[in-house]
Amino acid sequence: MYLEFITKSTEETEAVGAKFAKSLKPSDFVAMFGDLGAGKTAFVRGASRYLAPGAAVQSPTYTVVNEYPAKVPVYHFDMYRIDDEDSLYSIGYYDYLENGGICFAEWCEKIEPYLPDHFYSVTIRKSVEDPDVRCIRIVEEYR
């Protein structure tokens, strides 16, 4: 899978997230890349609208992981403050990977060596010209 989208609003980024979410299966892992304010949380909010309707999706900045209950639960990580594998163990990262839910992780730049064998990378880049424009690239990756 290799997909690219240009969005011109937060709502359009949420819509791309919702559409992509329809192709996800239990145990899938979505690794999100992109700067501060790129739109990672907006994408996860859109995806969760399909996967965990009613979930109040917010950046798990202080909690590190938010859980959104659903038939297949959604786990939403923010790796911004993760600096080593010990921190991953202490948040239960490897347990989450194995319990059948769908994981979204923001700031995967921080955990590159610890990503699972199979994941979707979602990279969001801001336009330098227009503050509302984003480029979203989705790639299925194997290691």
User: Which residues share a beta bridge with 68?
Assistant: 74
Minimum CB distance to ligand ATP smaller for 27 or for 67: 67
Give me the sheet containing 118-126, strands edge to edge: 2-7, 134-142, 118-126, 29-33, 102-106, 74-78, 65-68
Q: Does 45 bind Mg ion (CB under 5 A)?
A: no
Residue least distant from Mg ion (Cβ) = 41
Minimum CB distance to ligand ATP smaller for 76 or for 101: 76
- Among Mg ion, ligand ATP, none, residue 9 binds (CB under 5-8 Å by kind): ligand ATP
Minimum CB distance to Mg ion smaller for 15 or for 71: 15
Which of 132, 111, 129 lies closest to 121 in space, CA to CA?
Answer: 111
Q: Does 59 bind Mg ion (CB under 5 A)?
A: yes
Residues 6+ apart with CB under 8 A from 3: 20, 136, 137, 138, 139
Q: Which residue from 41, 48, 66, 123 is in contact with Mg ion, where contact means CB under 5 A?
A: 41
Q: How far is the CB of 117 from ligand ATP (least distance, A)?
A: 25
Q: How far is the CB of 109 from ligand ATP (least distance, A)?
A: 10
Give the pair of three-digit tokens for residue 33: 């890349």
Percent of residues in the chain assigned helix, strand, coil, to nearest 5: 30, 30, 40
Q: How far is the CB of 100 from ligand ATP (least distance, A)?
A: 25
Q: Which residues bind Mg ion (CB under 5 A)?
A: 40-41, 59, 106
